[in-house]
Structures are given as structure tokens and as C-alpha cells.
Structure 1
Amino acid sequence: MARSPARLRAEDRTRLSSDGARPRGAAPQRPSSLRLWLRRQRPMLRPMLFGLAGLGVLGAGAVVVSALDPAGRFSFLAENVAEIAGEAGLTVSEIVVRGQQNTPRELIRAAIGVRLGDPLLAFSPTQAKARLESIAWIESAEVQRHLSGNILVTITERKPFAIWQHQGEFAVVDRDGRVVSADTLDAFGPLPLLVGEGAHRQGAALYDALKQEPDVQRRVQALVFVGERRWNLRLHNGTDVLLPEGHEDVAVKRLAELQRSSALMDRPLAAIDLRLPDRLVVRQQPAPEPVDPRANAQRRSGRG
């Protein structure tokens, strides 16, 4: 039998209620404590979120201006952005330098060019890197700027290799011949002495050959570059060892064999010439001049 529309609506309402709908008059659910706290803090959270978003936009804007304008035509815009960010609290809070051993700290501070409290976005890591790598001691530098306010600088220093004597002046050089210091020559321990024009650029290969022959190396006082072509070894006893051009390693091995067989470097010689592969030439030290007894007698009588 067909049901009336009124009966259909009543049955439908009953079915919906039995299927899980909330019965009329049931108590409403209470919101969680976290939701209540967020509602109370909403007036404070909104400005805070806007402020953080604004700082992010300022930081991104300064980075974009620096990247797209390497010539600095819009540097005033980046400066204004950095100033606004600084007033908003985005400043340098910490500067960390790693890898410093021999480079003077005052040179590093001057090259970084920023102090605590300065606007963070006004600091250019690229420019600081270029200034740091212009310092003689520094081979390479890495500079990082973090929005937390930290600046991290990591430097790789050149290693002192030898002391170079040139025109009466002394300087510490690295293996490539770059002068790294002209002061505190004794601060780096015993270093080989290179003498002559161009010796600072060519001395590493000969030094490596000497390291293979310790008996020869410990008797050498200086490595002397002659005419920017070949080398002499000046021994501690004053003997000069003349090495052939372009064959220094072979000559050093030959000298070590002569030292083991006949203690050649311990003899009172003026020079040991190894420039000829099939011949050894030695030159004796000049004998002292004989003393004339009559001259001594005259000098004694004159004093008397």
C-alpha cells in the first residue's frame, strides 16, 4: 500500500537518526585545550607570523638583488633592504673562523669587514672571500652567511716550505714559491735555505731529491741557484757541490754513493764538481800562507 508523503518524511528522519546522526538534544562536543589556547593567542600569533614572513621576503630580496646585479647598479636597494632587516633584528650575532694558524688575526678581521651587531644582509660573503684570498698566507677561503645571524669562515693556509735569501733579504715561501711572511723566520722550525734569483720557485724538486738521501741532506746548509739555470749545494763545512743542469737527482744519488764509499763530503775541499757524468773534479781548499819568522820578530820589536 502506498505511503503518504508525511509518513515518508517521518520514516526518513527516523532512519537517519538510527544510522548515526546525533539525536536531538544531545550535548555538543567541547573543543580541545590546544584549540582553545590557539584561539586565545590568535591576536599575538598573527603579527608574529607576518613579521617572520616579512624577514624572509627581505632576505630573499637582498639575495636576489645581489645575484642579479653583480655590477652594483642597484646596490642602494640592497642597502635599504639590509638596513630595514637590521632594524627588524636581522643582525650579525656570531663570527666563527676555522683553520687559522699562521695568518694574523687582525688581517682576517679586517678582510671579513663586519662586526657583531651589523646588519646581516649588508655583509657580502663573495667580497669577504675575495679579500681573504688576497692575504699571502691564505690559499683558499669559504664564507657562509646564515639567517640565524652566524657567519662561518673556513680558511686553508699555505704551508711554510723554505726560507728564501735574495738580495740580502729573507722571506718564508711555500712550495710554489709564494712569499707568505718576511717576519718571524724562526717560528716555523728548521726550513731549507734557498739562495738566488728564482730559487724560491725551483727549489722544491731539488729538496725532494735531497730527502731521498739523508746522508747528503743533513750536510747541506743551502741550495744556491746559479744563473737561474743550475744548482750548487753549500755544505756546512764550506764546500760547494756543483750539480749538472737538469740532472740534479742523479747527481745527488752519485754524491751519496761517494760519501758512503770515501766520506767525500767530510774532506776539507773547496768544491766537488759533478757536472760531468764520467768525471769527478775536486778542488782543494787553498793552503794557509806560510808565516815569515822575520815579520813576526819585527812586529814584536815594534811593540816593544
Structure 2
Amino acid sequence: MARSPTRVQSDERTRLSQDGRGPHLRAQRPNALRLWLRRQKPRLRPVLMGSVFAVLAGGCAVAIAALEPTGRFGWLADGIAGTAGRYGVVVGDIVVRGQQNTPRELIRNAIGTGRGEPLLAFSPTQTRARLESIAWIERAEVQRSLSGDILIVLHERQPFAIWQHNNEFAIIDRYGRVVTAETLDAFGPLPLLVGEGAQKAGGALHDALKSEPEVLKRVQALVYVSQRRWNLRLHNGTDVLLPDGHEDAAIRRLGELQRSGALMDRALVAIDMRMPDRLVVRQQPQPEEEVPVTKRRGSGRG
């Protein structure tokens, strides 16, 4: 059976197209994305080069700061940071979380940078050290991203008590760290610790007092005597002398005496609990009664 000329011609065209060598191949037309990239190429090139430079500069600056943060190569790190800043690598938003009692001015001074400043000139390590040198701040977390944002999370010390020492007053935290000596009445009612060493040893005694609420609410101050033992100064002026090293047992006994006989509500000078087998109570001195003096009339001759 003879093959149709039209059929042969069609088969040859198909075979030549598959081989890729046929004269009938049409050039592929570029799609829309390629056309857009081709038109935007002059604009994208500086941005891409700036981004690559910023990444390289950031790596160099970090390496230099890690090897010798304050040494002879500091000028090189500063130069890299300044150049990166000209390419748009600058500080954007600065977010601070956890601030309650720390003055904002101290935080701003510790951060030491602002919006629009060179980002690579900002050191998270040095900033964290400056923040943690503030009395209120126990720990700080500082994060920097190449997008320009800076995130700072503060963990503040909590006011625990007022410490009186040498006629001076200060707010301290649980571990005796002085956090401020101003605005003492801004943190609500706090325990009053008196004496040298009271700021560090007062936490354990206050915990023991919390187990006896009736005792705690009558205590005005916790007085550390000779850095060895405690006295409780009550609101009515009575001093409770606690034994050295056995404060918990004495406070429980004091609570029992209060519930059974309202001992702490009496007008007493002192309640001495230093001896484990006895309780010594010193009462207020009673005023002496005045004895009326009668004048004897003398007998005389007139």
C-alpha cells in the first residue's frame, strides 16, 4: 500500500521537531515573570548587592567584636557598621518588655541607641551588661535582628521589705539587694527590717511569721540584734525576744498563747522567749499611788 505524501511529510516534521534540529522550531516567547525581572534588573541590583554586603559586613563586625571588642580593631568594626548603615541596615523598632519599677530614663541610657542609628554598632552583649548593672534589673535578654528591630525583655527584682540601717531606709528584694532609696511608700505595706545583716536574714523569719497570721499582723518591725538573733517589735510597743536558731518554734508557741490568752494584746514591756522551758513577761510599771498627807494642827497659846 502506497504511503500518502501528506502523511510522510507530517511524520518527518514531527521527527525533526523531537530532534530539535528542524528548521520549523519557533523561538520560545519569554513569560511575564521573566519580562518583569528583565525590566526591574537595574533597580534590583543595588538592593541585592546591599543585602549581600550587609550580611558579610555583619559577619565581619560580629567576628571582630568577638575577637577583640574594645581593642585596636574597634575602628574597623565601627567603619563596617557605618557603611552598613548607609546601605539601610539601621535600627528600627525598640521593644522593651517587663518594665515595671525601673526608671525609663535608666533603660534608655543603657540601650544607648535609637531609631535610624547603625544597627551593627549596637552590641546586645554590652547592652545586656549595662541593663543588669541597674539595681532594679535582675536579668535582661537582648535580641537584635537584621530587619532592624531590637527586643529587650527585663526580669526585675521584686520589692520585699524596707530596711532600716544607720537611720537610713531603703527598699530591698528578697535576697537583700537594695533596689531604691526613694518613694518608699509607693509599693504598699512592706515588712520593716532593722539592723545590720537584717536585709539578708529577714526572708526566712518573715516566712515563719506568715504561718501565724495573728502574730504577723501585730508585728511592726523585725529587729536583728547583734547579727545573731531577732526581736519582734509589736505595734503596741511590746518587744518579743526570740531564741537564737529556734525562731520557728517560738513563733508557733507565741501564736498559741495569743489564741488562748491574747498575750500580745496586753500592755507589756517585753515577752522573753529565749529560754525554752519558761516564758518571762515584763509588765508596764504601775504608777505609784499618792498617799495623802494631812497637816497636823499645832496647839499654841494665844
Aligned to 1:10: none
Aligned to 1:40: 39
User: Does residue 163 of the first structure (1) align with residue 162 of the second (2)?
Assistant: yes
Deviation (angstroms), 1:291: 5.9
User: Does residue 195 of the first structure (1) align with residue 194 of the second (2)?
Assistant: yes
Aligned to 1:110: 109
Write out aligned runs for 1:86-125 (5 A).
86-125=85-124
Write out aligned runs for 1:190-229 (5 A).
190-229=189-228
Give SS of 1:132's match.
Answer: helix
Deviation (angstroms), 1:46: 2.6
Q: Look up the equivalent residue of 1:164 and give its one-letter code.
A: W
Q: Distance in 2 between matches of 1:78 and 1:292?
A: 94
Deviation (angstroms), 1:14: 4.5
Structural RMSD (CA): 2.2
Deviations 1:196-255 (A, max 9, x none): 111111100000000000010011111010111000001111110000001101100010
Deviation (angstroms), 1:140: 0.5
Aligned to 1:20: 18
Deviation (angstroms), 1:123: 1.2
Q: Look up the equivalent residue of 1:17 and give its one-letter code.
A: R
Aligned to 1:5: none
Q: Distance in 2 between matches of 1:179 and 1:290?
A: 51
Report if the CA contact (8 A) 2:271-2:280 is conserved. Answer: yes
Q: Distance in 1 between matches of 2:150 and 2:26?
A: 58
TM-aligned CA distance change 1:122 to 1:26, over 3 Å: closer
TM-score normalised by length of structure 2: 0.88
Report if the CA contact (8 A) 2:17-2:25 is conserved. Answer: no
Q: Distance in 1 between matches of 2:291 and 2:191?
A: 43
Aligned length: 284
Q: Distance in 2 between matches of 1:272 and 1:264?
A: 9
Q: Look up the equivalent residue of 1:278 and give its one-letter code.
A: D
Deviation (angstroms), 1:30: 2.0
TM-aligned CA distance change 1:77 to 1:293, over 3 Å: farther
Percent identity over the alignment is 66
Q: Distance in 1 between matches of 2:248 and 2:150?
A: 48
Q: Look up the equivalent residue of 1:107 and give its one-letter code.
A: L
Q: Look up the equivalent residue of 1:20 and give its one-letter code.
A: Q
Give SS of 1:186's match.
Answer: helix
Aligned to 1:6: none
Deviation (angstroms), 1:15: 9.6
Give SS of 1:148's match.
Answer: coil
Deviations 1:88-137 (A, max 9, x none): 22111221111000000001111111122211111111111111111100
Aligned to 1:283: 282
Q: Look up the equivalent residue of 2:163 and give its one-letter code.
A: W
TM-score normalised by length of structure 1: 0.87
Aligned to 2:4: none
TM-aligned CA distance change 1:105 to 1:291, over 3 Å: farther
